[in-house]
Chain A
Amino acid sequence: MTRTCLITTLLCAAVLLGGCTGVKSYEREMLADPLMSFSRDPVSDMYIDHVYDVREGARGATTTQGGGCGCN
């Protein structure tokens, strides 16, 4: 129950923030830079996420999309 509350609150807060941030289109120079990207090198990020996925119990909610494998 509290998890649902938390997710809904976070989503609503973020959605509301969207209208209030006030970053104009002509001020987005920094945001377009690769250093501000969530995943600058997809192949590298996919590989390192795979290395962890194979050796840990946790999976998901990373910056890359995983496929399946028999890496138990």
Chain B
Amino acid sequence: MSLRNVHKTAVFTLAMLIATVASQAAMPAIGSAAPDFTLKSGTGKNLKLSEHRGEVVMINFWATWCGPCRQEMPLLNRIHEKYRKAGFTLLGVNIDDNSANALAMAKKLGVTFPILFDAEKRISRLYDVDGMPSTVLIDRDGKVRYIHRGYRAGYEDLYEMQIRELLKQ
């Protein structure tokens, strides 16, 4: 195979790479209305997103098999405790196939914010979650304002800043 052919193949591959990356679906657009949903929670009750209109809502998609998710949750719990009286709600949407595992893990991590079960991945598909964990911040009018993918040390400070900003509005 000549060097010219290798170059042609490389260019073709690069073009396909660009095409596939460009064609990937995306999470809800910033400023759009957050898709409404109803899910069963850890307390047994059903929880509906639109019931929290008027509050600042943070949806955190997590799984027991996701390392960064487990790292992040105690920090999210602290944020939840700090701001819930000011009108902030954190919903932890778990996507494990086995919801019992999720409840056990949440208990182990000392989490007190509501855990919702999305074992069928309906809501994950609705929001087209493309990274684990994924965090969506929704304002008091039910509009998506910030989306975060993955977790790195320091993200929790950014979350706090954005939550305070949305609470003021």
Contact = CB atoms under 8 A, between A and B. Distances in A.
Interface of A: 1-2, 4-5, 8-9, 12, 15-16, 18-20, 24-29, 32-33
Interface of B: 1, 6, 9, 12-13, 16-17, 19-21, 23-24, 61, 63, 65-66, 95-97, 118, 121, 124-125, 129-132, 134
B132 A28 contact: yes
A19 B13 CA distance: 11
Contacts of B97: 29
Given A24-B129, A25-B131, 13 more contacts: A4-B6, A8-B1, A9-B9, A15-B17, A16-B13, A16-B16, A26-B61, A26-B121, A26-B132, A28-B65, A29-B97, A32-B65, A32-B66
A7 to B, nearest CB: 10
Nearest to B130: A25
A45 to B, nearest CB: 22
Contacts of A8: 1, 6, 9
Nearest to B65: A32
A16 B1 CA distance: 20
11 contacts: A1-B1, A8-B9, A16-B13, A19-B16, A19-B19, A19-B21, A25-B134, A26-B63, A26-B132, A29-B96, A32-B65
A61 B144 CA distance: 47
Contacts of B124: 24, 26
Nearest to B64: A29
A12 B9 contact: yes
Contacts of B6: 4, 8
Contacts of A4: 1, 6
A5 B95 CA distance: 42
A11 to B, nearest CB: 8
Contact of A16 (B20, B23, B66): B20
Nearest to B127: A26
A15 B66 contact: no
Contact of B13 (A5, A12, A28): A12
B147 to A, nearest CB: 13
Contact of A33 (B65, B96, B129): B65
A18 B20 contact: yes
A30 B134 CA distance: 19
Nearest to A20: B20
